[in-house]
Amino acid sequence: MPLLPDIATRRIESELMDAPSLAREPHRKALRGLARINAVSRSAVSIWSVLHGRLGRRRGETFRVLDIACGGGDVAVALQRLARRAGVPLQVDGCDVSATAVSLATRYAERRSLEMTFFELDAIAGALPDGYDAMISNLFLHHLSRDDAVLLLKKMSEAAPTVVVNDLARGPFGYAAALVGTRLLSRSPIVHTDGPRSVRAAFTLEEARWLVARAGLDGARIEAVFPYRWRMDWGRS
């Protein structure tokens, strides 16, 4: 019997944290576990390195960024802090389909004395708001079907002149890292289950390139980043 499942083909399974019936406390613990994983994997730093390069050239303005499917708000908060340290005027908002996630994200920011706005939004079924300089997405695309992933990328590019996506890359080493890392960084059984499932549902780098091309994001840059992830950044010309 193989130690690892065959992950050559993408496989989407329902994730426990996506269940509408999930109670608030286990949801909170799972989001905190995910926040630790995001911190160790430097998700916010990866996104910020792109945003700073694109937005930091324009001085004297406050830049508005929307984090799509923000979860517990940890990446949005980290971006706000990174911008503050760099002296870049940035306002990061977040949206999520889950009312529980929005509530927890709001409290997470408040505890850190940050004035940030989080609101409910189904990014697939609903319209994305206007007025943002950048749309970002961290660890969300792998939850979506191929068609919905293309749709989201297209909607993000139509709503804002800059788009940055950071997501898992499917592969055996990433799967093994998820098995081990989720147990080292979280005691949540939801995280232990959902982590490996997320890798099996993730797009490979080549599949990500196909999605971006299909969405019409001409000139987008896609690259492998630590740890076992891919990052896409696009700017409207």
For 51-67, write each residue's pLDDT tens digit. Answer: 998 876 666 789 999 99
* Contacts by 113-119, CB closer than 8 A, 24 or more apart: 114/77, 114/80, 114/81, 116/73, 116/76, 116/77, 116/80, 116/91, 116/92, 117/93, 118/70, 118/73, 118/76, 118/93, 118/94, 119/93, 119/94, 119/95
Which residue from 114, 93, 105 is spatially nearest to 27, judged by alpha carbons? 105
Q: What does the pLDDT read at residue 58?
A: 67
Q: What does the pLDDT read at residue 56?
A: 65
Q: Which residue has the tokens 């700073």?
A: 52
What CATH superfamily is the domain 21-169+204-235? Vaccinia Virus protein VP39 (3.40.50.150)
Q: What does the pLDDT read at residue 57?
A: 66
- Cβ partners under 8 Å of residue 110, min gap 6: none
Q: What does the pLDDT read at residue 1?
A: 35
Which residue from 77, 92, 93, 88 is spatially nearest to 39, judged by alpha carbons? 77
Q: What does the pLDDT read at residue 3?
A: 64
- In order along its 237 residues, the chain shows pLDDT tens digits of 356 788 899 999 999 999 988 999 999 999 999 999 999 999 999 999 999 988 766 667 899 999 999 999 999 999 999 999 999 999 999 999 999 999 999 999 999 999 999 999 999 999 999 999 999 999 999 999 999 999 999 999 999 999 999 999 999 999 999 999 999 999 999 999 999 999 999 999 999 999 999 999 999 999 999 999 999 999 997
Q: What does the pLDDT read at residue 54?
A: 84
What count of residues does the chain have?
A: 237
